[in-house]
Amino acid sequence: MEVIQVNNLTFRYPEAKGAALDDVSFHVKQGEFVVLCGASGCGKTTLLRHLKKETLPVGKQSGTVRYNGTLLAELPAIEAAEQIGMVFQNADNQIVMDQVWHELAFSMENVGYDQAVMRKRLAEMSHFFGLEELLYKSVHEISGGQKQLINLASVLLLQPKLLLLDEPTSQLDPVAARDFLQLLYRLNQEMSMTVIISEHRLEDVIPLADRIVMLEGGRVKHDAAPRELCEAIGADESTNDLSYLPSVTKLFLSAQAAGKPLAAQDIPLTVREGKQWLAGQGGLKPNLSHQNGERVSSTLDPSQRLLTCDEITFKYEKTGSEVLKKLSLDVYKHEFLAVLGGNGAGKTTMLQMMAGLLQPQRGKVKREKHVKVGYLAQNPLLYFSYDTILEELQRMADYAGLADRERKIAEVVEALQIAAILPKHPYDLSGGEQQRAALALVLLGEPDVLCLDEPTKGLDPIAKQRTAELLQQLCQLGKTIVMVTHDIEFAAEHATRCAMLFDGAIAAEADPALFFGTNYFYTTAINRTVREWLPEALTTKDVIEQWAN
């Protein structure tokens, strides 16, 4: 039975030049696990919002959306609220109450459940999610990952039959993201719950999916099972879609002889399948010319130190626990430092102290004279006050006192590829587009040290690559970058040094190969796949370079 039927759906936002969705048609069967993917701004969020009556966007629409054969617009309000649940990309946007248990009860109160039913469901869900310790906490005290779990639990308390999720793992650390996705898969398998999820981080979600729907320019480009999608993309050498595939799959496709036909059933999607494929090839014989010397941790020159965190300690409330505990970290000229750690570890707090937005209660943050620090927050909406992105950029350029305002704006717009969104309102943009627009505002301030809090959150793989190229260019031009991230693949490929924040202090720091090469969870899928043969290889490029055969 088909739960969702989308037929010839076209949608245009008010005053927009082009359609956000253009003749989109696809059907979803009961119990399917469907992944939506595609570039930022391709229409994923707009499509998901059309699948839930309460989130339908304002604009001009044609075509139909049906739920269990009934037009979505004609679905009774209670049935629509109970049977179709949605988890948004930004966890804070979905939370409306002050305490966790109030937030969990809010949806049930609105539907009008009896108190006995509410208590029973709340007890069951709290136990299932392990929320007992969080129930009486303020929602402002919990981490982004915990907030996303609260949002999912709040939706599930209504026992929906269809679950919609818009990039739910974008703010989660790698371990929490995998746990969250496995929880969704468990709901899909054990409850036969239909799941439609929009994701950019496809490494972990593709192996769970029954189907992948890829959008491009508001149209459906691919609609196929995971291996069939990989086969189609691998056969088309002219496409950029290869970057959307899991790392193990990209390695397999890169290793195939040109013109050799691909068999979908042979394509590996997981680390286990990748290792089985490599073992069937006789393993990997390392190219010794690429070893012994390239992966030695570099010695940093103390004279190049720009910023120092000297045993800084901080807590938000007088009676609360310490978020940072005598944390010490040095930042050097021209480096690209990536700081990783779990949700709630204190990474954002540390970054705000580096930027001067918070002051340590003990210890010092020392900056060299005339060093200007720019800060990009995790929530890009904090940066927007005007009606268009162009006006935002012009106001920021005036505030920064730039002599050649138009040229500087043009350079940033070109570097971040945001010309198409200049006339748009910031709140009409996708999460990835908002992230790039906020980064453009920070860059107009011409900082020496750029502190970035999850800069790749919400970005598609191609936009991520453009961001990496821009950040590397900034390093070459003399900028220093400190990035807090959960994106292990991005940090492994582009950072010059990595650090792990744990229990309020820096637990480890090293070059990427040494840092990730010995980790169990905090490492790349490629490293887990080839570690037996190439223990320091982190990316597909590393493996190809070191693969003698």
Tens-digit pLDDT profile for residues 345-374: 889 999 999 999 999 999 999 988 888 999
Distance of CA 69 to the CA centre of its chain: 34
State residue 534 phi and psi, 5-degree precision: -130, 80
Contact (CB, 8 A) for 539 and 533: no
Distance of CA 101 to the CA centre of its chain: 27
- Cα 396 to Cα 504: distance, rounded to the nearest angstrom: 34
**What's the pLDDT at 519?**
87
- Cα 416 to Cα 462: distance, rounded to the nearest angstrom: 11
Task: Give, as one character, the DSSP assignment of residue 544.
Answer: H
| Percentage above 90 pLDDT, the chain | 54
pLDDT band at 5 (very low <50, low <70, confident <90, very high): very high
- The CA distances from residue 505 to 323, 501, 502, in Å, are 9, 6, 6
- Cα 287 to Cα 543: distance, rounded to the nearest angstrom: 10
| Half-sphere exposure in the Cβ direction for 317 (13 Å, CA) | 6
Specify the range with the lowest mean pLDDT, choosing from 25-29, 100-104, 475-479.
Answer: 475-479
With 0-12 CB in 10 A as exposed, 13-18 as middle and 19+ as buried, what is 165?
Answer: buried
Q: What stretches of 158-246 show up as alpha helix (H) in DSSP?
A: 174-191, 226-235
- Cα 115 to Cα 121: distance, rounded to the nearest angstrom: 10
Specify the range with the lowest mean pLDDT, choosing from 36-45, 90-99, 280-289.
Answer: 280-289
67 DSSP β-pair partners: 4, 70
Specify the range with the lowest mean pLDDT, choosing from 88-92, 220-224, 286-290.
Answer: 286-290
Rounded mean pLDDT, 462-480: 86
Over 90: is that where the pLDDT of 392 sits? yes
Q: What stretches of 8-95 show up as alpha helix (H) in DSSP?
A: 44-49, 77-83
Task: Give, as one character, the DSSP assignment of residue 547.
Answer: B
Over 50: is that where the pLDDT of 151 sits? yes
Pairing of strands 497-502, 505-510: antiparallel
Spell out the residues 6+ positions from residue 217 whose beta carbon is closer than 8 angstroms to its own: 22, 42, 43
Over 80: is that where the pLDDT of 179 sits? yes
Specify the range with the lowest mean pLDDT, choosing from 118-122, 332-336, 467-471.
Answer: 467-471
- Looking up tokens 């090469």 gives 517
- The CA distances from residue 133 to 18, 99, 137, 225, 530, in Å, are 48, 12, 8, 40, 39
> Tokens standing for 89?
């990309």
> Tokens standing for 182?
């496995």
293 versus 448: the higher-pLDDT residue is 448
- Amino acid identity of residue 407, one-letter, is R
State residue 414 phi and psi, 5-degree precision: -65, -45
Contact (CB, 8 A) for 507 and 347: no
> Tokens standing for 310?
């000297």
> Tokens standing for 103?
């937030």
Over 80: is that where the pLDDT of 234 sits? yes
| Percentage above 70 pLDDT, the chain | 95
259 versus 402: the higher-pLDDT residue is 402
- Cα 67 to Cα 71: distance, rounded to the nearest angstrom: 6
Contact (CB, 8 A) for 41 and 429: yes
453 DSSP β-pair partners: 484
Rounded mean pLDDT, 454-459: 81
Specify the range with the lowest mean pLDDT, choosing from 55-64, 195-204, 255-264, 524-533.
Answer: 255-264
307 DSSP β-pair partners: 331, 367
Task: Give, as one character, the DSSP assignment of residue 91.
Answer: G
Rounded mean pLDDT, 494-517: 93
Q: How many CB atoms lie within 10 A of CB 201?
A: 21
Contact (CB, 8 A) for 325 and 361: no
**What's the pLDDT at 290?**
44
- Cα 452 to Cα 438: distance, rounded to the nearest angstrom: 11
Specify the range with the lowest mean pLDDT, choosing from 150-164, 241-255, 285-299, 405-419.
Answer: 285-299
**What's the pLDDT at 260?**
67
- Furthest C-alpha separation in the chain: 71
State residue 367 phi and psi, 5-degree precision: -120, 145
- Looking up tokens 């012009």 gives 394
CA nearest to 546, candidates 227, 293, 309 = 293
**What's the pLDDT at 298?**
57
Sign of CA dihedral 255, 259, 263, 269: positive
- Cα 81 to Cα 479: distance, rounded to the nearest angstrom: 49
Over 70: is that where the pLDDT of 55 sits? yes
**What's the pLDDT at 287?**
52
Domains for the chain: give ranges and CATH numbers: 2-224 (3.40.50.300), 302-546 (3.40.50.300)
- Cα 399 to Cα 85: distance, rounded to the nearest angstrom: 43
The pLDDT mean for the chain works out to 88
pLDDT in tens, 96-129: 999 999 999 999 999 999 999 999 999 999 988 8
Kindly tell me the number of DSSP H helices and DSSP E strands found in the chain.
18, 19
Across the beta sheet with 219-224, the strand order is: 84-87, 162-166, 194-198, 33-38, 211-216, 219-224
- Cα 213 to Cα 202: distance, rounded to the nearest angstrom: 12
- The CA distances from residue 307 to 269, 337, 394, in Å, are 42, 12, 30
- Cα 392 to Cα 427: distance, rounded to the nearest angstrom: 12
